[in-house]
Chains A and B, each alone.
Chain A
Amino acid sequence: MHELGIANSVLEAVRAEAQRHPGALPVKVSVRVGELAGVDPDALTFSFEALTSGTEWARLALEVETCPRLHHCPACGNTFRVVDYQFACPACGAPRTECVSGDELELAYLEMEEP
């Protein structure tokens, strides 16, 4: 259950960004969470709500975009989503492919209401 700490890091990033836009009201922050990141989107959302409710950030919504594990095939150049740990390239059958995404834990954007 480290999602509370991660939710707090998200909130700190929002605070820092908001300081650069005086008077604007942050209303939505979006984060990308890969399926290999080891972060549970529901627990993250729950933690974020616990941190913000009843505070000046109560109107700030969290959007979690989950990112699938994608592999790239060096043999044929195909990029595909890995399902059930099947790493062989579905296009050409090459057994060895490389993981190119799926462990994201990134801030995507912040939406603010202008003053």
Chain B
Amino acid sequence: MNRVPMEKKVLSENDRIAGQLRERFGENEVLCVNLISSPGAGKTSLLERTLEGFPRGERVAVLTGDIQTDNDAARLARFGFPVRQITTGGTCHLDARMVERALEGWPLEDLDLLLIENVGNLVCPASYDLGEAAKIVVLSTAEGEDKPLKYPSIFFKSALLVLNKIDLLPYVPFDMAKARENARRVHPDMEIVEVSCATGAGLAVWQQWLQKRRNAMAAEMIVGIP
């Protein structure tokens, strides 16, 4: 019997493509973020409010993933920024090749920010690197505050937790302090913002977070020039 070591990642092909994407985003100074949540937590609403808040001419684009339908792309295209739908046809997550294909013919040098909306799912998207600078997990107050403990992988891998639907707090048993505590149990350094896409509360803080990451990326590029 011959045993051959195979020291490599199972998803090495995905990671290879994600690495190429990350390089392209870096070269073109595009901040790419990957939004992940369970279905109905408000990813599309958050993107609607985000796009609505940008001035015309902002260099932003959206890729939105769904198993079926282009409903989300239609919702997001109203704001006048480029939007492309990725319909996975049954697959429960986006992978790097889908993103690579969706970006074909899209000049990255015209962009500063690429928002990717993953398929609604807290499990599978955690395994797939899309070349993003940060994963962002969205959790709504209509869900359980124990989600971070039930789905630790995605909370561990996300830089930011967006707690959405805070306008519902008077009507739901959601314990905000406990939710924050659970997120930090899984990921002690996690950044957290609380928002309501219905009332607009907290959206300025979310926009500031995005801007901070964009500034950090620009600063990194300046430092990187020899």
Query: Which A positions have Cβ atoms within 8 angstroms of B?
Result: 1-2, 5-6, 9-10, 12-13, 17, 21, 24, 27, 29, 31, 36-39, 85, 87, 96, 99, 103, 105-114
| Stretch of B27-35, B61-69, B119-127, B217-225 with 4 or more beta carbons under 8 angstroms from chain A | B119-127
- Least CB distance, A110 to chain B, in whole angstroms: 5
A112 touches B2 (CB 8 A): yes
- If over half of B's interface residues share one DSSP class (helix, strand or loop), that class is named, otherwise mixed; here it is mixed
Chain A residues in 8 Å Cβ range of B2: 21, 24, 111-114
Interface residues of B in 4-29 (CB under 8 A from A): 4-14
B157 touches A103 (CB 8 A): yes
Query: Which B positions have Cβ atoms within 8 angstroms of A?
Result: 1-14, 91-93, 95, 123-124, 126-128, 149, 151-154, 156-157, 185-186, 188
Chain B residues in 8 Å Cβ range of A2: 91-93, 123-124, 127-128
Chain A to chain B contacts (Cβ below 8 Å), 5 pairs = A2-B128, A38-B124, A107-B9, A108-B7, A114-B1
Closest to B185 in A: A85
Chain A residues in 8 Å Cβ range of B186: 85
Chain A residues in 8 Å Cβ range of B128: 2
B6 touches A105 (CB 8 A): no
Most buried by A among B6, B149, B157: B6
A96 touches B188 (CB 8 A): yes
B153 touches A107 (CB 8 A): no
B10 touches A108 (CB 8 A): no
A87 touches B127 (CB 8 A): no
Known: A1-B124, A6-B127. A108 touches B185 (CB 8 A): no
Task: Give A106 to B10 CA distance when docked, in angstroms.
Answer: 5
Chain B residues in 8 Å Cβ range of A113: 1-2
A21 touches B4 (CB 8 A): yes
B10 touches A38 (CB 8 A): no
Known: A38-B124, A85-B185. A110 touches B153 (CB 8 A): no
Known: A85-B149, A106-B9. A39 touches B127 (CB 8 A): yes
Closest to B128 in A: A2
Known: A9-B10, A38-B124, A38-B154. A109 touches B149 (CB 8 A): no
B153 touches A105 (CB 8 A): no
A112 touches B10 (CB 8 A): no
Query: What 3 A-B pairs are tightest by C-beta distance, nearest first?
Result: A38-B153, A2-B124, A107-B6
- Least CB distance, A30 to chain B, in whole angstroms: 8
Chain A residues in 8 Å Cβ range of B149: 85
